[in-house]
Amino acid sequence: MRREMKILRVLIIVAVLGLMLLPIKVMAASTATIIVTNSPYFVSVNITPSSWAINGLTGSGLVNNATTYYSNPLGDTVSPTILGAKDSECYFNASNGMAIAVDLTVTTSDLSGGSDNSTNSNNGSAGATFYGAYTYFSGQTSLQWVVCKSSGSSIGYSNLLAGGNVNFGLIVSEQTNAWTGATPSSSTITVTSSAH
């Protein structure tokens, strides 16, 4: 009986060792996917009105050389209040219908298509064949008015809140050379909004 017990113990040990040496099944690698949604804030601001005839708000719509004009509904040659432009002195309105605050930058191209085509001086000053331009926003003092360049203007208004709006205007100083013809020229004013 002792011998049988020894044999049984040996068989159990062999059986256990055999189980340990059996190949172990390993699970194959698995993958899972994650879907990422990229929903950008599309920054867009509505500007009204969409055009301006220089000296056409209270004047004749004809411009003189070496004269500064304002998009001021109170008068085309009336400067906005230098200690803080008032809403009533601003012809344009920018409204932010987005869910984020934005900064506004204003640029204006060269005047072209007419008898006397003026180049934007990009420094706010007029000269023989170039004009100067500024933008001003309601509440800003004259020290805050920003030069409107043909490209690369500084931010004119910072942090227009979501759902907010602000009034603004333009200042154009006409070239100093006398006009050579009567065909009107035009430029494009671009208001760029970017996330604040």
pLDDT along the chain (196 residues), means of 10: 56 54 60 67 79 90 93 95 97 92 94 92 97 97 97 96 96 94 91 90
Which residues, 6 or more positions from 23, have their beta carbon under 8 angstroms from its beta carbon?
Answer: none
**What is the per-residue pLDDT for 20?**
57
Strands 165-173 and 68-70: what pairing? antiparallel
Which residues, 6 or more positions from 57, have their beta carbon under 8 angstroms from its beta carbon?
Answer: 71, 72, 73, 75, 76, 91
21 SS3 class:
helix
159 SS3 class:
strand
DSSP 132: E
Q: What is the pTM of this model?
A: 0.79
- If you search the block for the tokens 């699970």, which residue do you land on? 27
CA distance 5 to 7: 5
Ranges assigned E (strand) in the chain: 45-48, 68-70, 92-96, 102-108, 119-120, 130-137, 146-147, 155-160, 165-173, 189-195
Which residues, 6 or more positions from 81, have their beta carbon under 8 angstroms from its beta carbon?
Answer: 89
Cα dihedral angle (147, 153, 158, 161), rounded to 10 degrees? 120
**What is the per-residue pLDDT for 156?**
97
